[in-house]
């Protein structure tokens, strides 16, 4: 499996806080059958470290060490918080797409439905700039009209990424509805801290395989993530 969304790069956001827990989390990932991981620290203005050069240096050191100890390939990207400055930040190379390709991970605020149009105009601009916008974990947003909003994202060409643990928590009904309606293009871990997310990746794989068949789970967990990683059409 290929995971395009996780917060394992240590001490840069609300994910793993130090090397030891990051190493153990990735060792779990290997045991779950994951071969490639894009590390996607949050890019949120004024909240986390936003200096790209500092982050990339830290990433390169971490990647070298992990790849020498585990059978895993690491890549870099950001989970980008939707923000009016985001198009400019991308243009001026202050934050990252997934593995330097056209695909980017975009997160909306979980609530604040009243500001949705404002945030949505940022997504429109990113699409106009030619980026392939992946909306993270649509099943988790707390909007009364969530499914209308999700259809708007799809209509304008966004791609939807489900969090695998949503199949086992309070977001399960939303997750299953989106899978039933074939609106999800990929499943990722959004792993933060060991024993919280990666441990269910294989269970999610099995559940989706049982419900929708082997071809579908391959598409969502391997084929589409691989195409995103390698910057090909999905």
Nearer to Fe ion, 14 or 181 (CB): 14
Distance CA(234)–CA(128), nearest Å, equals 18
Taking CA atoms, 230 is separated from 2, 91, 138, 204, in Å, by: 11, 21, 23, 24
- In contact, 186 and 220? CB cutoff 8 Å: yes
Nearer to Fe ion, 81 or 224 (CB): 81
Nearer to Fe ion, 77 or 101 (CB): 77
Q: Which residues bind Fe ion (CB under 5 A)?
A: 79, 190
State in angstroms the smallest separation of the CB of 72 from Fe ion: 19
Nearer to Fe ion, 189 or 222 (CB): 189
State in angstroms the smallest separation of the CB of 58 from Fe ion: 18
State in angstroms the smallest separation of the CB of 40 from Fe ion: 6
Closest CA to 78 of 97, 60, 91, 64: 97
State in angstroms the smallest separation of the CB of 232 from Fe ion: 23
Alpha helices in the chain (DSSP H): 19-31, 52-69, 86-91, 116-128, 146-155, 172-180, 201-212, 214-218, 224-229
State in angstroms the smallest separation of the CB of 175 from Fe ion: 16
**φ, ψ at 123 (rounded to 5°):** -60, -40
Nearer to Fe ion, 183 or 197 (CB): 197
State in angstroms the smallest separation of the CB of 210 from Fe ion: 26
Nearer to Fe ion, 11 or 218 (CB): 11
What are 107's strand-pairing partners?
A: 81
Closest CA to 98 of 170, 40, 11: 40
Distance CA(24)–CA(84), nearest Å, equals 37
């Amino acid at each position: 499996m290929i995971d395009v969304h996780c917060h394992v790069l240590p001490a840069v956001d609300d994910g793993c806080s130090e090397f030891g827990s990051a190493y153990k989390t990735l060792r779990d990932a290997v045991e779950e059958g994951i071969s490639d991981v894009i590390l996607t620290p949050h890019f949120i203005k004024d909240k986390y470290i936003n200096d790209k050069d500092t982050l990339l240096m830290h990433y390169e050191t971490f990647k070298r060490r992990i790849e020498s100890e585990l059978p895993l390939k690491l890549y870099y990207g950001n989970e980008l918080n939707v923000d009016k400055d985001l198009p400019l930040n991308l243009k001026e190379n202050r934050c990252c797409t997934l593995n330097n390709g056209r695909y980017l991970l975009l997160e909306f605020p979980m609530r604040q439905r009243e500001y949705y149009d404002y945030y949505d105009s940022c997504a429109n601009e990113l699409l106009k700039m030619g980026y392939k916008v992946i909306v993270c974990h649509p099943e988790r947003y707390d909007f009364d009209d969530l499914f209308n909003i999700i259809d708007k994202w799809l209509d304008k060409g966004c791609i939807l990424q489900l969090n695998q643990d949503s199949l086992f928590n309070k977001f399960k009904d939303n997750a299953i509805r989106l899978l039933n309606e074939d609106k999800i293009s990929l499943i990722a871990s959004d792993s933060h801290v060991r024993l919280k997310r990666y441990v269910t990746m294989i269970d999610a794989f099995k559940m989706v395989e049982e419900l929708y068949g082997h071809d579908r789970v391959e598409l969502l967990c391997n084929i589409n993530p691989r195409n995103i990683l390698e910057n090909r059409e999905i």
